[in-house]
Structure 1
Amino acid sequence: MEHETTSVLIVGGSLVGLSAAVFLTSRGIPTVVVERHSGSSLHPRAIGFTPRTIELFRTVGLEARIPQAPPSVRLRRARIESLAGAWFEETDWTPQRKETPTIVYSPCTGAAIAQDKLEPILRERAYELGADIRLSTELVHFEQDTGGVTATLCTRDGHTSTLRAAYLIAADGSRSSIRETLGIGRKGRGLIRIMRSVLFEAPLDAYLARGVSQFEIEQPDMDAFLTTYGDGRWVLMFSDDIERDEDTLRTLIQKAIGRSDLPIKIITTGRWELSALIADRFASGRVFLAGDAAHTLPPSRGGYGANTGIEDAHNLAWKLASVLSGQATPRLLDTYDAERRPIAWLRHQQIFARPDYQEAATPADAATPILDDAAMEFGQLYRSAAVLGAGDELPPAQRPEQWAGQPGTRAPHMWVFVGNEKRSTLDLFQQTWVLLSEEKRWHAVATAVAEELGITLKFIHIGEAIRSVNGESYQTALGLQQGGASLIRPDGYIAWRSLDWPEDAQRTLRDALRAVAATTR
């Protein structure tokens, strides 16, 4: 048997596994991905990717490869008899709040790209960055000890090899065999229903002219859900577990369209469980769960399934990179579960508070306030040892301007000049620790603390190194007074801040950075 080594083994080469590979290799971490299938699924699956997800892909050079939606697009759905028949009602994906301010929260706008079109883009970028991706290869056994994980791999033609990895990421889906082997249970609403679907092609773009892309079909003898992938492909979904032959499916597609004179090409069918379950823990030793292996969240107007998994991968990648590079101790990895599992539960809660799953909601769900998209995408709060000052009294999510630089939240976006170049403040982060302040004295302090702790820390002088494009104060956006400073993690989240100049600035920063970065010194 062959014996190989790598830093991180990722099991599952779909959306979340490929994202993890891109995020890790962009930080120089040797990574092997194994995927038992020969490529992407025939079924496109996920379609909506949020501005926050595109922000993450922007950090690894992918923004230009993923077509984004126009900024003015309002995502809506309609309740209809059929596409060509009566349209009863149109609604926004998320209930709009009249008092919500009009603020540009991100340099990105989100993307309506099918998962089977996005995965090849991620795979190509992972290859470019040096990932070792092995398709038609399956994990058949693994064991972990204090020094790493030993995995037995088998290719489709029966070739067996052994791979030794420092860490393993389980991105092997909702029925994760790795999660089952680890004995990790799950809780949540559980199975909601079995769904059947049919993917087809038809010339139906004319029915998208009103800006609606999701349709609830209501007929006396047919209730179904119809949506488009924006590339000529559509999927019709049924809330039952009935197997239908091709003639029956074609008839039902025609009923949903309301016409029988259009060419229809049936591509494939699907059967899947609509469920909501969160793993009891997202880590066990040197093994980490991500994506559907950690949480299954049913399709929703917030797009909480795939997008949540991609942010899992991003959160975990910088922490693994810090530990593997020797800048952090393994206790930093404990913050992955502490930060990401509450987010999964928050999204579980929000799904059943919203209209789509009212039939599965409990009285407690009905009493849950619906958080707007800006709060859910840009204003979630992390509480962990990698954050100082995020107490239990704080809400789980708010809009960025309500947080005003609160530690545990994403550093806010603002357009600034770096030299003569216009950039988002988000582009200044994502690679290393960053300290921002209008007070120049923090520069010498940051340099001394970085050298003392053996960690890379970049100082950015607000007002000099970066200048606001619109005259807004980034110091104010971070909630800082004169002399204050904000410490940003390598994932763009605020780890700590000093509201003003402290009495012993070097000791204050050193103690804060040592705590949140879990440094080895």
Structure 2
Amino acid sequence: MKTSVLVVGSGVAGTSAALFLAWHGVPVTLVEKHPGSSPHPRAVGFTARTGELLRAVGLEGELPPSRVTKGFGIRRVRCASLVGERFEETFWSPPAEVSDVEYSPSKGVALAQDRMEPMLRDKARELGADIRMSTRMLEFSQDDDGVTAIVQGDGEPYEIRADYLIAADGHRSPVREALGITRSGRGYMHTSRSVLFRAPLEEYLKDGVGQFVVDGVGFLTTYGDGRWVLMLEDREYDEPELRQKIFQAIGRDDLEVEIITTGRWTITAAVADEFSRGRIFLAGDSAHTLPPSRGGFGANVGIEDVYNLAWKLAAVLNGESRPSLLDTYDAERRPVALLCHQQIFARNDGHNRDGEPEDAPLIDNNAMHYGVLYRSDAVLGAGPELPPAQVPELWNGQPGTRAPHVWIEPGRSTVDLFGRGWVLVADHPQWEEAAARAGVRYERIEQLDVFGLSEKGASLVRPDGHVAWRSVDLPDDPAAALEAAFSSASAGTR
């Protein structure tokens, strides 16, 4: 069989890749060796930026309402037990000054990964993605024209021929290993055991604390849906021992506790030294293993990887852009992963027990979520002198950054203007004429100051919502200036 893009792995990154590609109208097939999601919830707490991406594809409104209190997943305390004395609160980063700037039309998504993934799969199928669970890729090869994979489900092995392959096959990534792509970073740190259980403990979440470092026991946190996980030292435990540890962590033993499953987790930190090789791209954990952190750098970064890649693959496959555009995936996303790796170890987030803290300035979480800078041939005007991330109001529409959020009308944000195709944001008839000549959609808005523009300026925004180019004022020949910028940025060439 033939497909445009073959995705290997249906974790949150792989499933998101299938979803975003299908949304762009790209024929996509996903194969996953397991019959469904992992029984472990894994990630919980998706950022508002992820909420924006789900909003774009029409999924945000279908998510269940969060049942957790404000601060869930962010606030952490050291304590004698869940019900016992609480000591100091540990912060992800020093408390920031309160800002009245609203950064996003979306909210964070307090949903466990094992609940999120089926929703992503269902939406991807609805949009036309061919998702094949219980199907393992046995081998693959690539040539100048595409990728050939041998896969097997319940029956005999068969061949899939694709133009491109996305390897979202986990931190051990057989695809990455077969390609010989090396990784850099802290590497192995430690191994932990976990026990996932259900217990009626909601009353202990009322003050907004969702993470508990329990002295002499381990790390206890909630998924906000009645399920909790207790992380323990790495050794074998029988069920009576696990129950004893759970009751010790809670601080009482008169509750009904249901043990759901147990796990063993190897914590590593590594970033692939290449995010692509030929027609094959790495995404999610195969590209970067970022230890669990209150910055939400694991699953969220993987989702943003494939959002960046999906529109570029769509543009190349549709003949709208040159294949050189695909080189900008590594140029843009790998520095983000390296920055996240740095920021995890620059903070006191529980991982520095395995080594010295990173000697690097702390970057505000809002900057990491909304203000990372892309430098590539698909961006004009993002030089090496600029910082890797800042809060949006400091960027003020800088090319290479996510286009800023401001309400255009009730319920409609500037963020909602982007996602499908290139957009020129301006408020002048000459720019409207220029957009028509260049073949990009024109969106008239009055709040040009948040884009760093004069009343006669314009910003060219990519399908992923990042600014590719801007003209602060009206040039002598707006049409020629826009055509030159669009031709360069959309091709990923200078």
Shorter-chain TM band: over 0.9
Quote the Cα distance in structure 2 between the aligned partners of 1:462 and 1:96.
35
Secondary structure (helix, strand or coil) at the match of 2:298 reads helix
Quote the Cα distance in structure 2 between the aligned partners of 1:25 and 1:94.
38
Aligned partner of 2:270: which letter? L
Question: Could you say which residue in structure 2 is the equivalent of 1:84?
Answer: 83
For these two proteins, the number of residue pairs brought into alignment is 490
Quote the Cα distance in structure 1 between the aligned partners of 2:435 and 2:484.
12
Aligned partner of 2:368: which letter? M
Secondary structure (helix, strand or coil) at the match of 1:331 reads helix
1:361 positional shift: 4.5
1:360 positional shift: 3.2
Can you give the 5+ residue segments of structure 2 that lack an aligned partner in the other structure? Answer: none
1:102 positional shift: 1.9
1:71 positional shift: 12
Aligned partner of 1:459: which letter? Y
Aligned partner of 1:236: which letter? L
Q: Any conservation in 2 of the 1:352–1:360 contact (CA below 8 Å)?
A: no
Question: Could you say which residue in structure 1 is the equivalent of 2:313?
Answer: 320
Secondary structure (helix, strand or coil) at the match of 2:5 reads strand
Aligned partner of 2:79: which letter? I
Q: Any conservation in 1 of the 2:16–2:120 contact (CA below 8 Å)?
A: yes
Q: How does 1:403-442 map to 2 (within 5 A)?
A: 403-417=395-409, 422-442=411-431
Residues 473-518 of structure 1: CA deviation (Å, up to 9, x unaligned) = x211000123211000000000000111112222211111111000
**Corresponding residue to 1:380 among 364, 372, 377:** 372
Q: How does 1:352-501 map to 2 (within 5 A)?
A: 352-356=345-349, 357-362=351-356, 365=358, 367-417=359-409, 422-450=411-439, 457-463=440-446, 474-501=447-474
Quote the Cα distance in structure 1 between the aligned partners of 2:352 and 2:9.
33
**Corresponding residue to 1:136 among 134, 137, 150:** 134
Question: Could you say which residue in structure 2 is the equivalent of 1:151?
Answer: 149
Question: Could you say which residue in structure 1 is the equivalent of 2:201?
Answer: 204
Do residues 175 (structure 1) and 172 (structure 2) align?
Answer: yes
Q: Any conservation in 1 of the 2:69–2:208 contact (CA below 8 Å)?
A: no
Residues 383-435 of structure 1: CA deviation (Å, up to 9, x unaligned) = 00000000000000000000001000000011112xxx640111111101000
**Corresponding residue to 2:219 among 222, 225, 246:** 225
Q: Any conservation in 1 of the 2:76–2:211 contact (CA below 8 Å)?
A: yes
Q: Any conservation in 2 of the 1:440–1:461 contact (CA below 8 Å)?
A: no
Quote the Cα distance in structure 2 between the aligned partners of 1:426 and 1:361.
40
Residues 152-181 of structure 1: CA deviation (Å, up to 9, x unaligned) = 0011x3421100000000000000000000
Q: Any conservation in 2 of the 1:32–1:132 contact (CA below 8 Å)?
A: yes
Quote the Cα distance in structure 2 between the aligned partners of 1:232 and 1:422.
32
Question: Could you say which residue in structure 2 is the equivalent of 1:271?
Answer: 264
Q: How does 1:289-328 map to 2 (within 5 A)?
A: 289-328=282-321
Secondary structure (helix, strand or coil) at the match of 1:281 reads coil
Quote the Cα distance in structure 2 between the aligned partners of 1:142 and 1:499.
48
Residues 109-128 of structure 1: CA deviation (Å, up to 9, x unaligned) = 10110111111110110110
Quote the Cα distance in structure 2 between the aligned partners of 1:128 and 1:5.
20
1:91 positional shift: 4.1
1:462 positional shift: 2.1
Q: Any conservation in 2 of the 1:94–1:301 contact (CA below 8 Å)?
A: no
Question: Could you say which residue in structure 2 is the equivalent of 1:234?
Answer: 228
1:96 positional shift: 1.6
**Corresponding residue to 1:163 among 160, 175, 179:** 160
Secondary structure (helix, strand or coil) at the match of 1:355 reads coil
- Supply the RMSD in Å over aligned alpha carbons: 1.5
Quote the Cα distance in structure 1 between the aligned partners of 2:398 and 2:437.
25
Quote the Cα distance in structure 2 between the aligned partners of 1:111 and 1:259.
31
**Percent of matched pairs sharing the same residue:** 56
Residues 218-273 of structure 1: CA deviation (Å, up to 9, x unaligned) = 13xx3x100011111100002x3211111111111110011111111111111111
